[in-house]
Structure 1
């Protein structure tokens, strides 16, 4: 067997095996955040609960994709970029999905009746960040459009900064004006989960920026 044949044995049968999985995972996060925005803007409580169930199903799909990436990482000796970065990116994308689901679960379990402007705004920012995340992930497969990836990462960082401001202002208002301690706790936990989802998008952006630097 030639040296080239041996080398080819270790290369994934689909040379780009990781990229379709990353793209599916990122697209799944966009789908989840789209449903989240629809849910927090819905006036129909029953429809909203169905949307929350849909988010649960999508999160399970995301877990399966993340698990598949980890399996491929264990099976393939040759990877398109650092193994640590593949693992970190998969984990960060999965974390975005986890916190979207966590936010939706809290809204459902706490049976909140008012979907406030900060909740709607943070949900919209999660969607914006998810869209940028998907754009950047789709450019990773050839790294020809480095500028596009970098621009999306910058926008994700900006979105996270906006989410920080919305969260801080909303929590400050809760402490200033909310007299019901139980209601305050419920809303603070929901807002925190929503804001953390944007943090996880920023973590994914940081990993992609690291990949760009290492492959420049």
Structure 2
């Protein structure tokens, strides 16, 4: 009993999850502003830097979670769940940055309606993900657990909407885009944006598992 009391106990994992999710939302909003102001080179560059800054901040939280996890013997939830969730959240932040970087590297000239729609769905997924992450530490309360599961279900629906938009976008792209180079560029951007929602769904599935095991 005395030995157990002396063991390193839980770090502020829930707080760090919430911090990371906050950086994801910051990156998503900055990316959305970059897309909305794409024709303004100065604003585009500003918002791209904001995406990079938010992704780097998210990386720092990921490293801190890993550091604390290695020092902590007793954790509030399963160690593997902590590891999987923080890495999946980090994947979301990375994909947002990848999307901004791909547009710059591929010299995408203009935004399509499909990019705008996929961006909007990505932002909504990231916002709902932050909502779900913020509830994890309180899921032993039945009402909170139910609210968390409903939020995860909403992320699933948004991901399904993104799948539908993606299929329509690809069909339109291959039917209507005469420039092969532009087709390749836009295809890569569409796939990255849809993958953001996929990864949000992966995180939501992990959160559902945490809720079901701990509520």
TM-score by length of 1: 0.94
List, as ranges, runs of 4+ consecutive aligned residues in structure 1 with deviation greater than 3 Å.
none
Q: Distance in 1 between matches of 2:120 and 2:7?
A: 43
Aligned residue for 1:135?
131
Aligned residue for 2:77?
81
For 1:133-172, what aligned pairs fall within 5 Å after superposition? 133-143=129-139, 144=141, 145-172=144-171
Q: Distance in 2 between matches of 1:124 and 1:192?
A: 15
Q: Distance in 2 between matches of 1:54 and 1:74?
A: 31
Is 1:26 the counterpart of 2:25? The answer is: no
Cα distance change, pair 114–186 in 1 and its aligned pair in 2 (3 A): same
For 1:1-12, what aligned pairs fall within 5 Å after superposition? 3-4=1-2, 6-12=3-9
Alpha-carbon distance, 1:92 to partner: 0.9
For 1:69-108, what aligned pairs fall within 5 Å after superposition? 69-108=65-104
The answer (yes or no) to whether the contact 1:40–1:48 under 8 Å persists in 2 is yes
For 1:57-68, what aligned pairs fall within 5 Å after superposition? 57-68=53-64
The answer (yes or no) to whether the contact 1:16–1:141 under 8 Å persists in 2 is no
SS in 1 for 2:137: coil
Is 1:115 the counterpart of 2:115? The answer is: no
Q: Distance in 1 between matches of 2:104 and 2:42?
A: 11
Q: Distance in 1 between matches of 2:138 and 2:6?
A: 22
Q: Distance in 1 between matches of 2:7 and 2:203?
A: 27
SS in 1 for 2:138: coil
Alpha-carbon distance, 1:7 to partner: 2.2
Aligned residue for 2:48?
52
Q: Alpha carbon RMSD of aligned pairs, Å?
A: 1.2
Once structures 1 and 2 are overlaid, which stretch shifts more, 180-189 or 106-115? 106-115
The answer (yes or no) to whether the contact 2:132–2:148 under 8 Å persists in 1 is yes
Q: Distance in 2 between matches of 1:45 and 1:188?
A: 23
The answer (yes or no) to whether the contact 1:40–1:120 under 8 Å persists in 2 is yes
The one-character-per-residue Cα deviations of 1:20-45 (angstroms, maximum 9, x if unpaired) are 11000001000110111111111412
TM-score by length of 2: 0.94
Q: Distance in 2 between matches of 1:183 and 1:83?
A: 45
